[in-house]
């Protein structure tokens, strides 16, 4: 089910005495209803947010439910951000796709249709998850919008490969294997780079699957600022092999001190600063097509710490991406 965002849903601080110089995101964002005929992006740089309110995949993966509330929590955390976008850029909220009656597969198809609508109308697209089952629905939209002959690259900031078998059913742990098999069915390469892998969080079966499918990865302990130049070179090598990039940020890649509000907190996860540096490199390449932030579970968050982290990352993505 799809529902456009209602007027007044974005609320935050108002600095009335500062006039235009005091504008914040909630005062500047424009609402976009995807049930109507979607016009091509009107601004030179139009970035659209789309929510995926779903944690059915987390439930199927035996995780702790609550990611269904992720999009609302991210919006609330972003609402009072100061507005610094240039005049030739705009930010839009394209509403939410909901998973109803535990019908994950239909919800993913619906998400794919909405992502396709946005991408085909030249909107830069950011999906707010939802569990990591968001990724397969997101990919369905990318696949439909991607011009023939272009090679897709996937960069996943994640403690887990999410390459589990989906023989019995799909879940939040299966999306990238689903994508890999979908690409193989049409003789396309699976270019997948996973950054932040925790050895203790992935079984030998998952490492073997990653090897079988040619997935590349970097362990979490190596994802450090002092190792930035080596990581930057690794990233550039990967990006050189592809035409466009889909980036997924699973918030459980971060240390639990930064991101307690996820289904599977990572005690020895990574710090946000290295992700910011790598995101700058990715956006600067000019190849970023679309991005999502997933696995925020507001029910488990502490003082909105995880929501604020996800929102802050998105702030920097929006600021830089609007200038590319």
Q: What is the mean pLDDT of residues 92-97?
A: 98
Give Cα separations from 203 to 163, 200, 206, 209, 295 (angstroms).
Answer: 11, 7, 5, 10, 20
Contacts of 43 (CB under 8 A, 6+ apart): 88, 89, 90
Q: Is the peptide bond before 52 cis (omega within 30 degrees of 0)?
A: no
For residue 131, give the DSSP letter: S
For residue 189, give both structure tokens.
Answer: 């390469």
Q: What is the mean pLDDT of residues 85-90?
A: 94
- Helices within 11-103 (DSSP H only): 25-28, 56-60, 70-78
Identify whether the C-beta of residue 287 lies closer than 8 Å to the C-beta of residue 242: yes
* Residue range 209-237, pLDDT digits in tens: 999 999 999 999 999 999 999 999 999 99
* Residue range 98-130, pLDDT digits in tens: 999 999 999 999 999 999 999 999 999 999 999
* Residue range 245-269, pLDDT digits in tens: 999 999 999 999 999 999 999 999 9
The span from the CA of 58 to the CA of 62, in Å, is 6
pTM, two decimal places? 0.98
Please say if the pLDDT value at position 79 is more than 80.
yes
With pLDDT > 70 as the criterion, what percentage of the chain qualifies?
100
The span from the CA of 253 to the CA of 158, in Å, is 5
C-alpha 103 chain-centroid distance: 21
The span from the CA of 2 to the CA of 95, in Å, is 7
Look at residue 36 in the predicted model and tell me its pLDDT.
84
Q: Cα torsion for 116, 239, 84, 43, to the nearest 10°?
A: -40
Give Cα separations from 321 to 86, 174, 229 (angstroms).
Answer: 11, 29, 22
Q: Which residue has 């930010």 as its token pair?
A: 91
Look at residue 255 in the predicted model and tell me its pLDDT.
98
Look at residue 42 in the predicted model and tell me its pLDDT.
81
Mean pLDDT, rounded, of the chain? 97
* Residue range 173-204, pLDDT digits in tens: 999 999 999 999 999 999 999 999 999 999 99
The span from the CA of 131 to the CA of 93, in Å, is 20
Q: What is the mean pLDDT of residues 51-61?
A: 97
Q: What is the mean pLDDT of residues 5-32?
A: 94
Contacts of 119 (CB under 8 A, 6+ apart): 125, 141, 142, 145, 289, 290
Q: What is the mean pLDDT of residues 138-154?
A: 96
**Three-state SS for 303?**
coil
Nearest to residue 146, comparing CAs of 180, 174, 183, 178?
A: 183
- Domains of the chain and CATH, by start: 2-321 (3.40.800.10)
Look at residue 172 in the predicted model and tell me its pLDDT.
98
What does the buried/exposed string (b/e) look like for 124-163 if buried means 16 or more CB atoms within 10 Å of the residue's CB? bbbbbbbbbbbbbbbbbbbbebbeeeeebbbbbbbbbbbb
Please say if the pLDDT value at position 37 is more than 80.
no
């Amino acid at each position: 089910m799809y529902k456009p965002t209602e007027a007044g849903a974005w609320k935050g601080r108002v600095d009335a005495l500062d006039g235009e110089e005091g504008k914040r995101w909630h005062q500047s964002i424009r609402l976009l209803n995807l049930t109507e005929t979607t016009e091509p992006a009107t601004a030179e740089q139009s970035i659209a947010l789309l929510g995926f309110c779903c944690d059915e995949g987390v439930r199927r993966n035996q995780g702790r439910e609550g990611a269904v509330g992720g999009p609302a929590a991210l919006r609330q955390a972003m609402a009072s951000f100061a507005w610094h976008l240039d005049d030739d850029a705009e930010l839009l909220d394209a509403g939410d796709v909901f998973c109803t009656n535990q019908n994950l597969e239909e919800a993913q198809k619906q998400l794919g249709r909405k992502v396709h609508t946005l991408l085909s109308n030249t909107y830069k697209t950011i999906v707010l998850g939802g569990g990591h089952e968001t990724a397969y629905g997101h990919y369905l939209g990318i696949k439909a919008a991607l011009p023939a002959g272009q090679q897709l690259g996937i960069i996943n900031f994640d403690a887990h490969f999410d390459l589990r078998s989906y023989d019995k059913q799909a879940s939040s742990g299966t999306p990238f294997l689903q994508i890999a098999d979908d690409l193989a069915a049409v003789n396309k390469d699976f270019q997948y780079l996973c950054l932040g892998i925790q050895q203790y969080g992935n079984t030998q079966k998952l490492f073997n699957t990653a090897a079988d499918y040619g997935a590349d990865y970097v362990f979490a302990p190596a994802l450090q600022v002092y190792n930035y130049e080596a990581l930057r070179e690794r990233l550039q090598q990967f990006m050189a092999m592809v035409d466009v990039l889909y980036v997924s940020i699973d918030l459980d890649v971060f240390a639990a001190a930064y991101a307690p509000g996820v289904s599977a907190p990572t005690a020895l996860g990574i710090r946000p600063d290295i992700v910011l540096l790598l995101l700058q490199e990715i956006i600067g390449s000019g190849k970023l097509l679309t991005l999502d932030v997933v696995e925020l579970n507001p029910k488990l968050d502490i003082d909105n710490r995880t929501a604020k982290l996800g929102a802050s990352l998105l702030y920097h993505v929006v600021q830089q991406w609007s200038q590319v």
